[in-house]
Amino acid sequence: MRIPYFHVDAFTAERFRGNAAGVCLLDRPLDEATMLAVAAENRHPETAFLVGRDGEYSIRWFTPTVEVDLCGHATLAAGLVVCERVEPGRERVTFASASGRLTVERRGELYVLDFPARRPSPVGAAEKAAVAAALGVEPIEVLGARDAVAVVAAADEVRRASPDLERVAALPRFALSVTARDGEDADYVYRFFAPAQGVPEDPATGSTQSTLAPYWSERLGRASLRSRQLSARGAEFTTTVAGDRVEIGGRGVLYLEGLIEL
């Protein structure tokens, strides 16, 4: 069995930056064990598996260790692959996923994802203390949705953060986002740690924008914002909050195209 395979660097306009995603184009669904084995072999933070045609696909995402319910950068990568390689000229792709219907729309140089908003709420004292202990600094605020969100005082604190990954993995959340107001060339910055999911630090994370964009949109009083992920590879995003949805925009670059032999 041969599977068309693509490697895309997402949320960047430069190869070797942003976040690497694998995209596997299937003619029929694979069993979970095989998809997990392929994702582990790829060693990317996420590999997406697509089944479909004519702009309508199902999508599933796997880290090297688990399946996840929502992934931004691999969805952008999947949309890019469909629009640029599988169905050249297509401007919009719809994905059926564990998080409902998602779309990727090509707008000039950007690929714009339509994702559900996951607004955060304050956490209890015990979880706040656990996040502070994991982070090694006292956050201004700790909130939770799918991910824990630690708000700190300055972008430099985000840049210098060196959390205890064992403690992060023990938190009662999918992952930990650390974020701050920026005010220089973006509205806010962040980093994302998901050691319990097999991703110690994610280079570029679209899914947590479902929580960060509503939070910062409310604080800054604007629906549309720009943000940066301060990982070693770096990443850039645009976001627009519209009710219970968040539009997440970014660029992507195809790095590799080939076949997987199974």
- Read off the amino acid at residue 221: G
State the sign of the Cα–Cα–Cα–Cα dihedral 105, 111, 116, 119.
negative
Q: Which of 224, 199, 168 is CA-nearest to residue 72?
A: 199
Tell me the C-alpha distance between 221 and 161, whole Å. Answer: 27
Here the tokens at position 170 are 């023990």
pLDDT at 130: 98
CB 6 within 8 A of CB 77: yes
Domains of the chain, first to last: 2-117+248-261 (3.10.310.10), 121-232 (3.10.310.10)
Tell me the C-alpha distance between 115 and 31, whole Å. Answer: 26
Tell me the C-alpha distance between 72 and 53, whole Å. Answer: 21
Tell me the C-alpha distance between 87 and 82, whole Å. Answer: 5
pLDDT at 165: 98
pLDDT at 184: 80
pLDDT at 22: 98
- Active-site residues: which are they? 46
CB 26 within 8 A of CB 5: no
Residue 126 sits at φ, ψ, to 5 deg, of -65, -45
pLDDT digits (tens), the chain, 262 positions: 999 999 999 999 999 999 999 999 999 999 999 999 999 999 999 999 999 999 999 999 999 999 999 999 999 999 999 999 999 999 999 999 999 999 999 999 999 999 999 999 999 999 999 999 999 999 999 999 999 999 999 999 999 999 999 999 999 999 999 999 997 889 999 999 999 999 999 999 999 999 999 999 999 999 999 999 999 999 999 999 999 999 999 999 999 999 999 9
Q: Look at residue 85 and give its three-state secondary structure.
A: helix
**pTM (predicted TM-score):** 0.97
Q: Where are the beta strands (DSSP E) in the chain?
A: 2-10, 19-26, 46-53, 56-62, 67-68, 92-97, 100-107, 110-116, 121-122, 141-144, 148-151, 176-181, 188-194, 199-202, 224-229, 235-242, 245-250, 252-261
Exposed / middle / buried, residue 127 (Cβ in 10 Å: 0-12, 13-18, 19+): middle
Q: Which of 216, 261, 208 is CA-nearest to residue 241?
A: 216
Q: Look at residue 138 and give its three-state secondary structure.
A: coil
